Structure 1
Amino acid sequence: PQTAAVPPMPPGMQAAVPEGRTAPPPAPATMHDYVFQVGAFRDEASVDDLRQRLEGRGLRTRMERSGKLYLVLVLLRGTDERAAEIPRIMEELRLGKPLLRSRKPVLR
């Protein structure tokens, strides 16, 4: 089997990885577990309606009771880029700006 000849580098340029060495593996995206509060209601029917809408968009949700209020939380495991989509989705659903309740790194 013949190996293809590698053309010479243009003058003034260097190879990204020196010959004979391998490129380092790409850095993994940093993953976090996020919890966003996206709503607070006095009645469970409103909570159920909102959770169905959110889950229809592919989001994981949870309800939490706080005094007389029912809180709707969105749970997300992902990168900062993925978490940045949550405010956009909430705007599309006319829910206002979500409150970031927690952001914890995922341990590998």
Structure 2
Amino acid sequence: MSRITDTAHTLARWHTDGDTPDLDAARRTVLHALDIEETSEVLYRDLLHIEWTAKNPTALRRTVARLQQMARTYDITLDSLTEDTVNLVLSDRPSPVTTG
């Protein structure tokens, strides 16, 4: 992983964990990093978790579409963890509760 991906992933987790998550800050961090590292599955998984926690189905569908388009464009086979994350967030299961 590149330093950009590592840093953005760490910041996104920092903004989403704990008693007072800042999902907007986490989202901005990940989206900015994806503009630079557009093939980072870790960042897509972060964004999926952020939008799932925010209960934002429109953003979830948009993120999945962006991820799938990226995979087609670069002829990338997605990791099983990424596929599992996509299946989870698109299921009818409730989003996780963030605890500190």
- State the TM-score, normalizing by the size of structure 1: 0.28
Say which structure is richer in helix: 2
**Greater RCO (CA < 8 Å, at least 6 residues apart):** 1
Higher Rg of the two aligned structures: 1
Instruction: Point out the structure with the larger strand share.
Output: 1
